């Protein structure tokens, strides 16, 4: 006689835990020339923003060439930078007011006074940093905005970009970095 064996598999009543959502990538920003818009390493644009198409770099539309610059494609701003050589606390506060309250992060004291937060440029979401710091006798303000990229830890990226921007500012204006300005 032949034996018949029946195997029954059961599934638990509870659903299995879905695999966790991968966390945003946290990689060093490639810091090497050439630099776009004064401070952004060209080698890092695609990695930071997720955008790999063609883009142009230059003054903000309607602005004369100078300290405010954008990297843009035909549709939106991908990156934006700016600086003010003699910023003050009120100027910093004005930039911070443009950021949404939720999700703001204070910069580390060695980078100066400032914050990272969400905002918009021409209706497109960006993550931005504003840093007011000391460089010799100067009290500059540096601004950096990056197209939102959920595949990156943009706070980590922006801290690195602020460090690069402050170092580049010191090189451009021959001054020595010195932490946050008084007041």
Whether the Cβ atoms of residue 181 and residue 112 lie closer than 8 Å to each other:
yes
Torsion over CA: 81, 86, 92, 93 (sign): negative
Cross-strand partners of 130: 115, 143
pLDDT in tens, 62-96: 554 458 899 988 888 889 998 888 888 888 888 88
pLDDT for 85 equals 87
Q: What is the DSSP string of 118-131?
A: EEEETTEEEEEEEE
Band the pLDDT of 135: cuts 50, 70, 90.
very high
pLDDT for 62 equals 53
The verdict on pTM exceeding 0.85 is no
Band the pLDDT of 147: cuts 50, 70, 90.
very high
Q: Examine the pLDDT at 28 and tell me if it is beyond 70.
A: yes
pLDDT for 134 equals 93
Cis before residue 171, ω within 30 degrees of 0? Answer: no
pLDDT for 26 equals 82
């Amino acid at each position: 006689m032949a034996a018949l064996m029946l195997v029954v598999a059961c599934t638990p009543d509870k659903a299995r835990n879905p695999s966790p959502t991968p966390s945003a990538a946290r990689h060093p920003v490639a810091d090497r020339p050439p630099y776009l818009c004064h401070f952004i390493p060209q080698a890092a644009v695609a990695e930071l923003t997720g955008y790999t198409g063609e883009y142009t770099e230059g003054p903000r539309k309607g602005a004369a060439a100078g300290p405010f610059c954008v990297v843009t494609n035909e549709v939106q701003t991908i990156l934006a930078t700016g600086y003010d050589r003699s910023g003050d606390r009120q100027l910093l506060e004005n930039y911070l007011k443009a950021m949404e309250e939720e999700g703001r992060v204070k910069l580390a004291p060695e980078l100066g006074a400032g914050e990272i937060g969400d905002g918009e440029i021409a209706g497109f979401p960006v993550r931005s940093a504003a840093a007011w710091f000391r460089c010799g006798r100067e009290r500059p303000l540096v601004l950096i905005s990056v197209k939102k990229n959920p595949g990156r830890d943009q706070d980590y990226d922006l801290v690195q970009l602020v460090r690069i921007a402050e170092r580049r500012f010191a090189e451009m204006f021959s001054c020595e970095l010195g932490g946050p300005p008084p007041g």
